[in-house]
Structure 1
Amino acid sequence: MKCTVVRVPIGSPSDVSALRALVEDGTLAPEDVVAVLGKTEGNGCVNDFTRGYAVRVMSDFFAGRIGDGASRISFVMSGGTEGVLSPHLTVMSRSLTPGGMPKPGEKSLAIGVKHTRDFRPEEIGRLAQVREVADAVRAAVQEAGIESAADVHFVQIKCPLLTTDAIREAKARGASVVTDDTYKSMGYSRGASALGAAAALGEVDAEALEETDICHAWEKYSEVASTSAGSELACCEVIVFGNSPKSKGPYFIDHGVMKDAIDGDALRRLLETHRDAELVQVLAKAEADPTGFVRDRRHTMLNDSDINHTRHARAVVGGVLAYVSGDPMIYVSGGAEHQGPAGGGPVAAVFKRKS
């Protein structure tokens, strides 16, 4: 197996010009694409329809080239490119390649993609979601040929949220939902998904998890999960990034954990460790510290009634990591419930060996 990662700039959620050019010049083979991870320029909140718009455009683009084969591609769009973040797509391909086995002792990038079943509104943000995501993560790890949880370096999960219609439908059946606040439902869904990844990878005791832990027990988290909620789907889409001795090629991935929103050293250490390789993409989570302080200095992100705190956090973390990497076309998603320590978050980097 050989996996590749290519970044593609976009001028709008409907722009496929650069993507088309890469397909036409042979850089991308549509039949090998397994997932497209995008940053769109909406608000990243409940009513960010740029996500669904971009998914539709991507689906149509690939369907026009590989027909029904496009239905197996996971299209994950994360809204919000505040600050210097540049809207773009990260296109992931996986293929079987001739030419012998991988080099002995060398592990290369491996990617696994799975979907859960659709969730009922009353399951979102609860243990049912945790368990289903855990099963999907385990299956994706197996599909990728990743042999150890230590070789998993990023787990991207796109998850559903509660809309007013969904809440109303559930209550009409006599079912209760985790919250009546559609925006808060994003956090519960992200948190449940992250704990699902943590359970699958042995980062938390799956059997000891309780429903009240979700968005409360912040000491329970995953160091590699990145979850993003949207109204454009009802299931969870899981993309596992890791390294495997069964994979070949120049690409590989590593990760660190930001202790807070300005911890650029977490990425700097990765760049130093792999200074002989080319940086291909940065993948990270952003969160406002729930204490209201960063390094003993008060911040106002949680108190701003005009701009949501997840948008502040994306701008901050995006600026910090763009400075360290030297490139603003990176993937930074807001809302890191149970994704890294409270106020911090995972950061991963995809590299390409130069020789």
Structure 2
Amino acid sequence: MRCQVVKVPSASPSDVIGLRKLVEEGALLPSDVVAVLGKTEGNGCVNDFTRGYATHSLQDFFRGAGGESSISYVMSGGTEGILSPHFTVATRSLANDDAAAEGQKALAIGTARTPSFRPEELGRLAQVEQVANAVKQAMAEAGIEEAADVHFVQIKCPLLTAVEVHDAQQRGLTTVTEDTYKSMGYSRGASALGAALALGEIDGVRDEDICGSWELYSRVASTSAGSELDYCEVVVFGNSSVATGDQFIDHEVMKDAIDGAALMRILQRHPGAEVVQVLAKAEADPTGYVRGRRHTMLNDSDINHTRHARAVVGGVLASLVGDPMIYVSGGAEHQGPAGGGPVAVIFKI
């Protein structure tokens, strides 16, 4: 098995020109594509329709080019600051060469989907448990046997709309919140705890722990909520001895939004390796302080705090790798310690 990642710039959520060029040049085989992670230039909030627009555009392109119907699409809205809109395309194919060298592990990618969720299940244990199952399935598909070999778990999860909240109420049920924006955080948090549970990072979780017990978190989960789906897409990135190829992945955990040292530690561990892509989470510290200094991201009524956080973390990380076309997603509930978040780098040898 050979897994590869390539990133392609986009001029708009519907722009597939770069992808078409790669296919025409023979550099990308549509039938090998298993997942596409995108950064689209919307607001990243409940009404960010650039995510769905991009997903439909990509589905139409790959369907016409011979791609599989099972491709996982994870669109993350918001390219604030210097973040550059783009698509990160992950492929998996049968290797033409021998098995991986003894003792060596290469990039391995697996995908899975949960069943669809009812509105009353979002942000609650039902979501945690289904995501945990999906993470284990994706690991198995990738040939990753040890949790320590998982370095990034990207999850796209649903959110609540006003219509869905009303639907639950009409059936005599409650939702975790009636605030649609807050539902994004609950869904992200439940998904992250599902990954943590699957990887043995936590022993168990209760409903009240979701967006409540911040000491519970995953060191590798990255979750993004959107209205364009009612289930969770799970993409596991790790290293496996059954994988071949010249790419691999490593990760660290940022303690806060300006912890560029976490990324530097990864880069220093692999001198001479080429950076293919950086994947990270961003969050406005819920205490209202960063390293003892007060921040105002949580108090801004004009711009949501997730948008501020993406701009900050994007700037910090891009300055270290010299490339603003990196994947930074906002809202890190239970994804790394409060105020921080995981950062991973895919390298090419």
Secondary structure in structure 2 of the residue aligned to 1:322: helix
**CA–CA separation in structure 2 for the residues paired with 1:146 and 1:89:** 25
Residues 278-317 of structure 1, C-alpha deviations (whole Å, 9 max, x = no match):
0000000000000000000000000000000000000000
Matching residue of 2:2: 2
Question: Aligned to 2:319, what secondary structure does the other structure show?
Answer: helix
Matched with 1:213 is 209
- Give the aligned partner of residue 65 of structure 2: 65
Distance 1:295 1:14 in 2: 40
Alignment of 1:104-253 (within 5 A): 104-206=102-204, 209-253=205-249
Q: Partners of 1:164 and 1:287 in 2: how far apart? A: 25
Q: Deviations over 1:77-117 (max 9, x none)?
A: 00000000000000000000222111111000000000000
The corresponding residue for 1:336 is 332
In structure 1, the partner of 2:288 is 292
Instruction: Give 1:47's aligned residue.
Output: 47
Counterpart CA distance in 2 for 1:267 and 1:181 is 35
What does residue 97 of structure 2 align with?
99
The separation in 1 between residues aligned to 2:172 and 2:189, in whole angstroms, is 25
- 1:268: how far off? 0.8
> RMSD across aligned C-alpha pairs, in angstroms?
0.6
| Aligned partners of 1:218 and 1:341 also within 8 Å | yes
| 3-state SS of paired residue (1:168) | helix
- Contact 1:59 1:70 survives alignment (8 Å): no
User: 1: distance between equivalents of 2:201 and 2:227?
Assistant: 28
Match of 2:24 in 1: 24
Quote the offset at 1:225 in angstroms. 0.1
Tell me the distance in 2 between the aligned counterparts of 1:44 and 1:99: 42
Q: Which amino acid aligns with 2:79?
A: T
CA deviation map 1:167-192 (0-9, x unaligned): 11111111110000000000000000
Counterpart of 1:31, as a letter, is S
Q: How many residues are aligned here?
A: 349
Q: TM-score normalised to the size of structure 2?
A: 0.99
User: Which residue in the other structure is 2:268 paired with?
Assistant: 272
- Counterpart code for 1:147: E
TM (normalized to structure 1)?
Answer: 0.98
Aligned-residue offset at 1:325: 1.0
CA shift at 1:257, angstroms? 0.3
Distance 1:100 1:15 in 2: 37
- Displacement of 1:276 in angstroms is 1.8
Describe the superposition over 1:129-150 as per-residue Cα deviations: whole angstroms up to 9, x where unpaired.
Answer: 0000000001111110012000
The alpha-carbon deviation at position 352 of structure 1 amounts to 0.4
User: Structure 2 CA distance, aligned partners of 1:74 and 1:210?
Assistant: 29
Tell me the CA shift for residue 18 of structure 1. Answer: 0.7
Instruction: Please state how far the C-alpha of 1:70 moved relative to its aligned partner.
Output: 3.2
Once residues 43 and 277 of structure 2 are traced to their aligned partners in structure 1, the CA distance between those partners, rounded to angstroms, is 23
* 1-structure distance, mates of 2:313, 2:183: 23
Q: Structure 2: where are the runs of 5+ without partners?
A: none
**What stretches of structure 1 of length at least 5 have no aligned partner?**
none
**1:46-91 deviations in whole A, cap 9, x for unaligned?**
000000000000000001011xx53210011000000000000000
Rounded to whole Å, the distance in 1 between the matches of 2:222 and 2:190 is 12
User: Could you tell me how far apart the structure 2 residues matched to 1:112 and 1:347 are?
Assistant: 19
| 1:243 positional shift | 0.1
Q: Distance in 2 between matches of 1:218 and 1:280?
A: 32
**Which residue does the alignment assign to 1:258?**
254
Moved over 3 A (4+): none
